[in-house]
Amino acid sequence: MRAFLADFARRQARRVEEFPCGFAATNDALPHSRVDNQLFVERPLPDPAALPALADRALAGLPYRLVTVFDEGTGEAAIGPFTAAGYEHTAELLMVHRGPVPAPRPGGPRAGTVELAALRGPLARRWRGFLPDADEEAVRQLVERRDVRRGGAETVHFVGSPTGGGEIAAWVDLYLAPAAGLAQIEDLLTAEEHLGRGHGHAVVAEALRLAEAAGCATRFLVAEADDWPRLWYARLGFTTVGRIHAFERA
């Protein structure tokens, strides 16, 4: 799973700079998207205290810093140095789906693959809700970065659950690597006015069904360790098998 995440970041990046401990993946067309401009630490390094300086070097010219550390031990050791350098730390869980794929709820919403064009309006409204002070260019980049995801995996699907009127109420990305038997579910969002109506369940269930049909036996997602969605994912059959660490500074 960690190798898949690293490979995905490399493949979708416009520019990749390699370092002994990992790589920086950046995209100068999306400067407002932090996840598209970050340092990834793949391997242990002798001195985790050196990471903040490496991040400054790798991400020079950007007003923010984002570092993802895949190695658990290195991530734990880096908490002190990153905190001292003004970063916020987030532990993220690698969660694998166990058991049968959940069936659609009787009488509930139904989901399927959709085109990015159908998501642009709902995505833009959701981002304006999350970031009310963001300008239109920032919102545009946060919407259009989804198009960049197409280059990250062998197959990329956008899965959406429509309302009765046809507008997409909830959506999620699905990244498939059938040759490796891996599938990642990523970036689940539900339009605020449609929360609590089963649309999130519908898109995750459909994504799991598509992954199973593609022969991907390992189906996983990444969830914040201290946020409530991890409990919801657990009820859908996801189990924590590891963790990675993220460090961010505005």
For residue range 149-208, what is the model confidence (pLDDT) as tens digits? 999 999 999 999 999 899 999 999 999 999 999 999 999 999 989 999 999 999 999 999
Looking at the structure, tell me whether residues 89 and 118 fall in a common domain: no
Is residue 247 a part of any domain in this protein?
A: no
Looking at the structure, tell me whether residues 13 and 127 fall in a common domain: no
Looking at the structure, tell me whether residues 59 and 123 fall in a common domain: no
Mean pLDDT score, 123-135: 95
Looking at the structure, tell me whether residues 131 and 205 fall in a common domain: yes
Q: Can you tell me whether residue 189 is helix, strand or coil? A: strand
Residue 229: CB atoms within 10 Å: 14
Beta sheet of 15-19, edge-to-edge order: 15-19, 22-26, 38-41, 65-69, 238-249, 88-97, 218-224, 182-190, 168-177, 155-162, 112-114
Looking at the structure, tell me whether residues 235 and 122 fall in a common domain: yes
Handedness of CA 185, 31, 123, 156 (dihedral sign): negative
Is residue 143 a part of any domain in this protein?
A: yes
Looking at the structure, tell me whether residues 56 and 168 fall in a common domain: no
Is residue 141 a part of any domain in this protein?
A: yes
pLDDT of residue 104: 84
Q: If you average pLDDT over every residue of the chain, what do you get? A: 96
Q: Can you tell me whether residue 49 is helix, strand or coil? A: helix
Q: Can you tell me whether residue 239 is helix, strand or coil? A: strand
Looking at the structure, tell me whether residues 69 and 133 fall in a common domain: no
Looking at the structure, tell me whether residues 82 and 118 fall in a common domain: no
Amino acid at 93: L
Domain count for the chain:
2
Is residue 105 a part of any domain in this protein?
A: no
What are the backbone dihedrals phi and psi of residue 95, each rounded to the nearest 5 degrees, phi first? -120, 125
Task: Tell me which residue range forms the domain holding 33.
Answer: 2-93
Looking at the structure, tell me whether residues 201 and 128 fall in a common domain: yes
Is residue 249 a part of any domain in this protein?
A: no
Looking at the structure, tell me whether residues 232 and 120 fall in a common domain: yes
What CATH number is associated with residue 134? 3.40.630.30
Alpha carbon distance 90, 71 (integer Å) = 14
Is residue 192 a part of any domain in this protein?
A: yes
Tens-place pLDDT, residues 70-83: 999 999 999 999 99
pLDDT of residue 105: 87
